[in-house]
Amino acid sequence: MELQQDLHFTFAHNNFNVVDLDKSLDFYSRALGLKEITRKEAEGFTIVYLGDGTTRHMLELTWLKDFDRPRYNLGDNEIHLAMRVKDMDAALKKHREMDVVCFENPAMGIYFISDPDGYWIEIVPDKE
């Protein structure tokens, strides 16, 4: 079944809930160069949207002010983001220096980094 022509969906954002918003903002800035696009403050939460400066896709970080555990339950952590980079060697070197590489798959030419809350981000070569 095909969608109606006026129902063309495009990606807007993905969400990660975070325990320490400042720590997460620092990580995403240093590790991936993401910048804050906009922020929404509310009584019980803060939402910050990050962008890469190239695409319209954003990462939404949600900080629940009354969250009462030291970490979110990420299950088997099979859900992840993937980011492209042109210079895989330089990226891997930077992420190793930051001590955030959590899995490498040289046969596939990819690796994963882990953010402060344990979310995995796949790093893949930009072959365009």
Q: Which residues are catalytic?
A: 122
Give the Cα separation of 35 and 29 in Å (integer). Answer: 6
Give the residue from 108, 104, 113 showing the smallest Cα distance to 125: 108
Torsion of CA 11, 12, 18, 21, to 10 degrees: 140
Give the Cα separation of 44 and 97 in Å (integer). Answer: 36
